[in-house]
Amino acid sequence: MQCDNCHHLIEDPGALFCAQCGHSLCREGRCCFCGKPFQPQARFCDRCGIPVDAAPLPPQAASPLPPPLVDARTLNKAATLGPYKALYESRLQAIQPQPGDGRHPPARARFGIREEDWVAVEGGSYLMGSPGDERDRFDNECQHEVEVAPFEILKTQVTFDMFDLFCHDVKHIRPEDEGWGRGNLPVINITYWSAMEYCFWLSERTAETIRLATEAEWEYACRAGTTTPFWTGPTITTDQANFDGNFTYGGSERGTRRGKTTPVDTFPPNPWGLHDMHGNVWEWCASIFDELYQGLERENAGYDQTDLRERVVRGGSWYNVPSGIRSASRNKLSPNLHYLRVGFRIVRELD
């Protein structure tokens, strides 16, 4: 079998997406957009919310050039949500409260985010990546200077409390919590697209521009002016972050292996007031993964569902050894996939 898009020969008879270009192979009984099997008599995919009878996106002509990136400032404009923006907006419009109807408390309380939950990050230059002598580093962490503009970032990862408000408001499927609970735990099992829909929803509701951090912004905020492997210094303990304490780094002692997520304000914040920049859950970033650091780390890929290049996830999780939660540690994931170790954090753009 060949991919309709790039004509790559598909050798795996059970493949759902082309290994070369990521185009959906649209198997019967599975969602053409994320590959998840449909539940019996389902009308919508319970992972991504796309209708069962939705036709797959037409294949793009194979090209060596990547599709253009979407600028952050177009996040809440029509072009950024692709062909399913109308479907999403119809759900949003159906429950849009009328002004003065008294059904909802003020916006900040309703969305589970207070003004003091935002941290203002001053812009500046820093060395992104890790030095050549940093223990357990990878070659794709090449150090280079990056300029970052000012922005605001949420003190914590987005919680189930925050995300469930969105799910209730727009009738979105609630993500699984793995039996660990919801509330103040970080939301997990979220695709890149669902994280983006949350950002779009919050932008619409607050008349502000809410988005994911670029990879460069994320590491800048994580480091908080430090140059060591962790903001805590050359080493880190399980009293400072949620990771696999059976392993050590830089002379640290063994600690606790919790084996699941912890509430987002459990551990001390970094010098800029941000919790869980190391461990707990990986965080989706807005950037496409760029192995060679040629500029995509500074870009926001936006909401283009035809672009299935892997997105950056940062910060490590409860499952990772300490070397995997370093400030410079990088990982990637297909935007169509969700995972019990991956959540997200949001950024608010400044006027």
How much of the chain is in helix, strand and coil states, percent to nearest 5?
20, 15, 65
For residue 100, report the phi and psi dihedrals to the nearest 5 degrees: 75, 15
Residue-wise pLDDT tens for the chain (351 aa)?
A: 777 777 777 766 666 666 555 566 777 787 776 666 777 777 666 655 566 776 555 443 333 323 323 333 333 333 334 434 444 454 444 434 333 333 333 444 458 899 999 999 999 999 999 999 999 999 999 999 999 999 999 999 999 999 999 999 999 999 999 999 999 999 999 999 999 999 999 999 999 999 999 999 999 999 999 999 999 999 999 999 999 999 999 999 999 999 999 999 999 999 999 999 999 999 999 999 999 999 999 999 999 889 999 999 999 999 999 999 999 999 999 999 999 999 999 999 997
Residues forming a β-bridge with 38: none
What predicted TM-score, i.e. pTM, was given to this entire model? 0.72
Most distant CA atoms of the chain, gap in Å: 61
The secondary element (H helix, E strand) that includes residue 222 is helix 215-223
> Tell me, what's the pLDDT at 351?
77
pLDDT at 182: 96
Ordered domains of the chain (ranges, CATH): 1-65 (no CATH), 107-348 (3.90.1580.10)
Angle between helices 85-94 and 192-206 (to 10 degrees): 50
Return the pLDDT at 116. 94
Cα–Cα distances (Å) from 140 to 9, 297, 308, in that order, read 29, 12, 21
Residue with tokens 């177009």: 74
pLDDT the model gives residue 340? 95
SS3 of 217, please? helix
Provide the pLDDT for residue 213. Answer: 98
Look at the block and give the residue holding tokens 């919310």: 49
Q: What is the pLDDT of residue 23?
A: 62
Cβ atoms of 295 and 220 closer than 8 Å: no
Q: Could you read off the pLDDT of 77-99 as tens digits, one per residue?
A: 333 344 344 444 544 444 343 33
Run of H or E including 233: none
In this structure, the number of other CB atoms found within 10 A of the CB of residue 143 comes to: 16
3-state secondary structure of 348: strand
Q: Which amino acid is at 330?
A: R
The pLDDT of residue 46 is: 60
